[in-house]
Structure 1
């Protein structure tokens, strides 16, 4: 698994994929983040709490990613402008 930090809130994350995870099975194979390619052409590594905090209406954009912040270990939210 690759390690990094969430582009939204900055918490440490793990990402599955690549040759290192070819034969990895079980709980540890899921990782804690995904890279999303947005409609505005940007891509971002986001933890699952940040993905859940993205707006449901319309397509998320880089501006929405910039507004994400960490609340605690399990939740994120959009910063109020």
Structure 2
């Protein structure tokens, strides 16, 4: 697994890949992330705490507003 950082809050995440974790879908725990392709045409690697707080139809601006609160939660800064 490769390491990278969340595009939203900056926490270190593990990026799944390769044959070793072919059937690993992520459990939402610390250190896991997904790349989301948004309707505005942008793609962002986000940790699960950030994915939980972004709106249903997120934009790149919503990703820019994400911040890390602690190891388990994220939040959106005021607009």
| TM superposition score normalised by structure 1 | 0.82
Q: 2: distance between equivalents of 1:76 and 1:24?
A: 26
1:62 counterpart = 2:29 = no
1:42 counterpart = 2:42 = yes
User: Across the two proteins, how many residue pairs are aligned to each other?
Assistant: 75
1:23 aligns with 20
Find runs of 4+ consecutive structure 1 residues off by over 4 angstroms. none
- Runs of 5+ consecutive residues of structure 1 not aligned to the other structure: none
Structure with bigger gyration radius: 1
Q: How many angstroms does 1:23 deviate by? A: 3.2
**Please, what is the CA RMSD of the aligned residues?**
2.1
| TM superposition score normalised by structure 2 | 0.84
